[in-house]
Structure 1
Amino acid sequence: MPDISSYLPYIWPAYLAYLITVLSPGPANLAIMTTAISQGRRAGLFIALGVFCGSLTWACAAALGLAALLRTYALALEIIKILGGLYLIYLAWKAYKSARKPDKDIALSEARAKQTAGQLWLRGYGIHITNPKAIFGWLAVISLGLPANAPPSAVALIVSIFSASSLTIFTGYAILFSTRHALRLYRAARRWIEATMAVFYSLAGIKLLTSRI
């Protein structure tokens, strides 16, 4: 039986590349940050868990070789890509409408409609699961971090280590951006933040819709 520790020299370079990707700004991280700022730590943590579960879903799919299957059935991948792009544009529209509302209307809206834990989780999961590039990102990480003859136990190790790190990062963002200082910043610059979100989500959605996978 091969020694798992012998694969560590392959894993570390891939791990550093993965950390840079997870830490960098993107639709998922932006959703976690803004939700934590505007709705508090609980909401931020639930959307972070949704994003993590979406990432874990793609990680398992890549580990099981489903990326190759999706490449074979290009239509299924194209449908996922279109749904992901449309979902990001929908989030952009919601952010745009929020940016145009006066502060008093925002306060009334928040008082009337509190999102449930399930709704927050689904929003985070939806952002990540409708991004087909995530599965190929995981496939690249596994390919970079392990040689072709790596045993299933080594694949499980890399998925476990990387997923634990992503969970820490996503929930860390939720905790960091749910502080009182962050809330004061959001209230002072709410319209600018929402407008920035609208632009960011629009660009990300258009890029996904027009990209070739």
Structure 2
Amino acid sequence: MLGTQDLIQFIIAGILLNIAPGPDSILIMTRSATQGWRAGSAAALGVGAGTMVHIMAAALGLSALLATSATAFTIVKLAGAAYLLYVGVSMLLSRAKSAEQVQAGTTSQPLLSHRKIFMQGFLTNVLNPKVAIFFLAFVPQFIAADASNKPLALIFLGCIFNFNGMIWCHILAVSTAFARQRVAVNQAVTLWLNRFIGLMFVSFGIKLALSNKN
């Protein structure tokens, strides 16, 4: 179909890759746990929009630039690492502030708008050059050598990958929000959990900053 091959294997591999935990899934779970499934869904849609940018970039050959140019890769990598560090540190600082509120007897916390959460998901995904390299290295394996329009085949496969990813991300958002409602967690545990998630984002940022193209 459209010059693709081994489509079932591609779908299975894509689902397994989407299930693997990373900054995107952590962000979705965090927003669902703190603001409900709609917030998690907003983050998921942001991730999906970022994935579409990578798909179109791969189809246009821009991902090849990241794969071959050390300078371009480093610039995008450092921008992505800086953003992940910013998100992680912001969470750590906001949670520390919330701890002071708990001691003072107030637990209200400002909520992010769905638009801001969408942008968090978008930037977390689109500023990760590893995703661009993934689409350049993984997806072409499932495009037939004699395909008449390889960019179109890549877009087609990328959309399938993103569609399945969105299903998984929304399942993650809804299930996390459902579990949060059913499990009684006291404020102190919630604060420490959020701090831990903040540290995870910091670690993701450091790992991305120190990574190479391989």
Work out whether the TM-score is over 0.5: yes
Paired letter, 1:16: I
**What is the Cα deviation at residue 6 of structure 1?**
7.3
Whole-angstrom CA distance in 2 between matches of 1:116 and 1:75: 35
**What is the Cα deviation at residue 142 of structure 1?**
1.4
- The 5 A counterparts of 1:84-123 are 84-100=80-96, 101-102=98-99, 104=102, 107-110=107-110, 114-123=111-120
Q: 1:157 — aligned with what?
A: 156
Q: 1:138 — aligned with what?
A: 135
Give the unaligned 5+ runs of structure 1.
Answer: none
Whole-angstrom CA distance in 2 between matches of 1:126 and 1:74: 21
Q: 2:180 — aligned with what?
A: 182
Q: 1:148 — aligned with what?
A: 145
**What is the Cα deviation at residue 155 of structure 1?**
2.7
Q: 1:204 — aligned with what?
A: 204
Identity %: 27
**What is the Cα deviation at residue 72 of structure 1?**
4.4
Paired letter, 2:65: L
**What is the Cα deviation at residue 205 of structure 1?**
0.7
- Per mean C-alpha deviation after superposition, the further-off stretch among 17-26 and 27-36 is 17-26
Paired letter, 1:129: V
TM-score (norm 1): 0.85
**What is the Cα deviation at residue 41 of structure 1?**
1.7
Matched, 1:39 2:35: yes
Whole-angstrom CA distance in 2 between matches of 1:133 and 1:6: 25
Query: Could you list the per-position Cα deviations for residues 60-85 of structure 1 after superposition, in whole angstroms to 9, with x for gaps in the alignment?
Result: 21122221133344323211100111
Structure 1 counterpart of 2:22, from 20, 26, 29: 26
Give the unaligned 5+ runs of structure 2.
Answer: none
Q: Give the aligned length.
A: 205
CA contact (8 A) 1:32 1:174 kept: yes
Structure 1's consecutive aligned runs of 4 or more residues displaced over 6 angstroms after TM superposition are: none
TM-score (norm 2): 0.85
CA contact (8 A) 1:38 1:183 kept: no
| RMSD between aligned residues | 2.2
Matched, 1:57 2:53: yes
Query: Could you list the per-position Cα deviations for residues 162-181 of structure 1 after superposition, in whole angstroms to 9, with x for gaps in the alignment?
Result: 121111111221111122x3
Q: 1:125 — aligned with what?
A: 122
Paired letter, 1:130: L
